[in-house]
Structure 1
Amino acid sequence: MSSPIYRLPIGVNCLSNNGKVFVSGPCGVVDFYCVSKIYRKGNMIVFLPYLSSYYSSIFIQAVLGVVLGYSVELVLKGIGYKAYKSDEKLIFTLGFSHSISIDIPEGVFVRLNKKTLSLISANLGLLQNFTTSIRAYRFPDSYKGAGIVYVNEIVTCKEGKKN
């Protein structure tokens, strides 16, 4: 079991309001629901009742996110696969007869290169949900390896037809 006392880094603020915990820092603000109340003395925080291991890991992820931030890089592998940004939307050309537009959630910063997308956020859960929703449009093909893949992901391709 983790310790019930948490020490906040310099520049990180944490407050609770009606069952919602807000953690703010230099990289952004993360909020999540929790039934515990916060008791604070200096930079030490105690949640009463104590946090379960699930909520404890969410709190630690939130603190790390607002201090350091999380980033995920995706690569578009395939002929004619493109991505560009207009307003608050990502628009993909992924070999379908139409282009796909996805709303960028608030709190996620997107940087585009030719074939790579860099997604940066303080909220790890939001970032992972957004990347999986992007990858769902073109999951890596098992024969050619084309699709939307993570930067260091290794796609094992099946052997083609034998004659």
Structure 2
Amino acid sequence: MAASMASTTLSARQSYAAPVPARARVAAATATRAPVRILAGESRVGKQPVKVPKGVTYTLKDNHLAVKGPKGSLEFQFPDTMVFTEDGDEIKLSKADESRTAREGHGLYRTLTNNMMVGVSTGFEKKLKLVGVGYKASMQGKDLNLALGYAHPVILSPPPGIDIACTSNTEITVSGYDKVEVGNFAAIIRSKRKPEPYKGKGVRYADEYVPIKEGKRK
């Protein structure tokens, strides 16, 4: 009887298999699985043609685009991953290959091309407003004079191609044909007195929402 019990225990030990960790099972399944190739679809933004507005002329050679219009002129050197196709008053951008760089830049470079066309024809603008007692904005020639609660005024000179207008003592409009430069200069103005979180005082974009925190209670 003892011999039979020993043989039963031995057979049970031989048939017992230690549990395989979940991570090891996943790794084994992944190793045996065939690689899956994911084909990226066409960019919804990149596949849209760019319209050339009336009064705008452009030259395109070796992916170097130069645009000229009533507001000014812009130029940009696009990478070889983009292919330009001219079709009447439209420009279409397509990918030169299916590389990751080409896929990622398709929509971006189409947007840059459209911004160049819009910028030299109608331009861009960014509006800001001043919130706070005694905060004022005024023009000093072509420079912007800001009173932001400091012991001294803040005077900013716009770069070439940027125009500033003060529609009121607390409203500023930055305009220009280069969207990047307009946004950069508006950000510089805002940085001189960023909105504080308790009363919202400072310089903010006209469409900016500033969350107000609750102050400390006594």
Instruction: Provide the secondary structure at the position in 2 that maps to 1:74.
Output: strand
Instruction: State the 1:17 CA deviation.
Output: 7.2
1:59 paired to 2:140: no
Matches within 5 A, 1:10-159: 10-16=54-60, 21-35=65-79, 42-45=88-91, 52-112=106-166, 113-159=168-214
Code of the residue aligned with 2:211 in structure 1: it is T
Instruction: State the 1:5 CA deviation.
Output: 5.9
Q: 1:16 to 1:88 in 2, by over 3 A?
A: farther
Q: 1:154 to 1:47 in 2, by over 3 A?
A: closer
Instruction: State the 1:149 CA deviation.
Output: 1.1
Under a length normalisation based on structure 2, what TM-score does the superposition of the two structures give? 0.63
Where structure 1 has 5 or more consecutive residues not aligned to the other structure, the ranges are none
Where structure 2 has 5 or more consecutive residues not aligned to the other structure, the ranges are 1-42, 97-104
Question: Residue by residue, what CA displacement relative to the aligned partner does 1:81-134 show, whole Å, maximum 9, x if unpaired?
Answer: 122222332121211122222121111221112110011122111111111111
Contact 2:129 / 2:172 at 8 angstroms: preserved in 1?
A: yes
What is the count of residue pairs matched by the alignment? 163
Contact 2:47 / 2:92 at 8 angstroms: preserved in 1?
A: no
Distance 2:198 2:49 in 1: 51
Question: Which structure features the higher share of helix residues?
Answer: 2
Under a length normalisation based on structure 1, what TM-score does the superposition of the two structures give? 0.82
Instruction: Provide the secondary structure at the position in 1 that maps to 2:151.
Output: coil
Distance 1:98 1:18 in 2: 51
Distance 2:93 2:194 in 1: 41
Instruction: State the 1:40 CA deviation.
Output: 5.1
Question: Which structure features the higher share of strand residues?
Answer: 1
Instruction: Provide the secondary structure at the position in 2 that maps to 1:96.
Output: coil
Structure number with bigger Rg: 2
Q: Greater relative contact order (Cα 8 A, min sep 6): structure 1 or 2?
A: 1
Distance 2:143 2:54 in 1: 34
Q: 1:91 to 1:16 in 2, by over 3 A?
A: farther
CA RMSD of aligned residues (A): 2.7
Residue 28 of structure 2 is matched in structure 1 by: none
Code of the residue aligned with 1:121 in structure 2: it is G
Code of the residue aligned with 1:86 in structure 2: it is Q
Contact 1:20 / 1:33 at 8 angstroms: preserved in 2?
A: yes
Distance 1:159 1:137 in 2: 24
Instruction: State the 1:27 CA deviation.
Output: 3.0
Contact 1:15 / 1:38 at 8 angstroms: preserved in 2?
A: no
Instruction: State the 1:79 CA deviation.
Output: 1.5
Instruction: State the 1:16 CA deviation.
Output: 4.6
